[in-house]
Amino acid sequence: MSDGTLIALTFAATLIGFWGLTLWRAARNEARARQSHPPLGRFLTVRGKQLHLLQQGQGPDIVLIHGASGNMRDFTHDLMGRLVASYRVTVLDRPGLGYSQRLDRDGATIFEQADHLAAAMADLGVSRPLVLGHSYGGAVALAWAARHPGGVAGLVLLAAASNPWNTPLSRYYKILSHPIGQRLAAPILTAWVPTRIVTDTIAQIFAPQPIPPGYADYIAAGLTLQRGALRENALQRAGILAEIDALVPLYPGLDLPVEILHGDRDTTVGLAIHSIPLSQQVAGAALRVMEGVGHSPHHADATAVLAAIDRAARRAALR
């Protein structure tokens, strides 16, 4: 056996060993995340797919839709507890994220997610809820209202993605939304990315506000780093710009109360690109700009968000 052949065989064996270790670590990390952060709610089968949701409280119905890369824990950490005395709150993991099953293999569009959530609420007997959406979840909330006229009593949008932008898709999402990247990059990230990198990313999103005490541990970085969640989130993120292009022409037809909150220090979803134009595109929209606030209004000033929800409920005659 030549030296070149021996080197090639050694390299191949090392590569196979590394890949086997990577798959083992990925599965182990996912199992640990699910053990340490089990489902908070129950599962509802909607059109053959499992949706993880939690419902608590009494009063007018409100549905909370989380943003990209997250899960329902973003709301159960604080906001939901503030609402249950006055509202019946339904919070959920969007399709493909957290504990909810993906809808298909090419990434659920905001319109597919909106239809899925509308069907879920109908199954639960939730009629004409207020719908609150944060960031990406705001786009889903807008799609829900546009696709199901009369099915939503009002919208509360927190730093919502709502209008087209001109920055390119990041390399990270380009890789993870590509079939080869999904097969190779997702397991590597699940297996080897340390939790501190996720915490650093969370800190950037919250800035200039600090991460709320206990939030980083509560939100469960391991759930975000599941292979399926990484793939689905990347596909959703890669497709949303074209979907918003299709959504914007529907805004003039929206006939419902819309309360918009957006921080003027938000560097993730720009105020000037998204919420300011949206406030002019929807006749029933009222915009509140939150001074000094970043991308998480519901954590930076929960009182202001509660007030916006109450305004939307009054405007929709739910109170």
User: 68-113, pLDDT tens digit by residue?
Assistant: 999 999 999 999 999 999 999 999 999 999 999 999 999 999 999 9
**Model confidence at 319, in pLDDT bands (50, 70, 90)?**
confident
- Residue 40 scores a pLDDT above 80: yes
How would you classify residue 194: left for phi > 0, otherwise alpha for psi between -120 and 50, otherwise beta?
A: beta
What mean pLDDT is predicted for residues 32-47? 97
Neighbours of 303 (CB within 10 A): 8
Higher-scoring residue by pLDDT: 260, 198: 260
Chain centre to alpha carbon of residue 202: 13
Which class is domain 35-315? Answer: alpha beta
pLDDT above 70 covers a percentage of the chain that reads 97
pLDDT at position 197, please? Answer: 86
Q: How buried is 25 (Cβ within 10 angstroms: 0-12 exposed, 13-18 middle, 19+ buried)?
A: middle
**Model confidence at 3, in pLDDT bands (50, 70, 90)?**
low
pLDDT at position 221, please? Answer: 87
CA angle 81, 84, 88 (to 5 degrees): 135
Max CA distance (Å), the chain: 83
Neighbours of 166 (CB within 10 A): 6
Closest alpha carbon to 236 in 186, 171, 169, 184: 169
Domain ranges of the chain: 35-315
- Residue 282 scores a pLDDT above 80: yes
- Residue 261 scores a pLDDT above 90: yes
pLDDT at position 6, please? Answer: 67
User: What residues contact 213, with CB distance under 8 A and at least 6 apart?
Assistant: none
Using one digit for the tens of pLDDT, what is the confidence trace for 134-185?
999 999 999 999 999 999 999 999 999 999 999 999 999 999 999 999 999 9
Alpha carbon distance 94, 125 (integer Å)? 19
pLDDT above 90 covers a percentage of the chain that reads 91
Within the chain, strands assigned E span 42-46, 49-57, 61-65, 88-92, 130-134, 154-158, 258-263, 285-290
User: What residues contact 227, with CB distance under 8 A and at least 6 apart?
Assistant: 26, 30, 186, 187, 190
pLDDT at position 1, please? Answer: 60
What mean pLDDT is predicted for residues 269-277? 98
**Model confidence at 314, in pLDDT bands (50, 70, 90)?**
very high
Using one digit for the tens of pLDDT, what is the confidence trace for 192-243?
998 888 889 999 999 999 999 999 999 988 999 999 999 999 999 999 999 9
Q: Average per-residue pLDDT in the chain?
A: 95
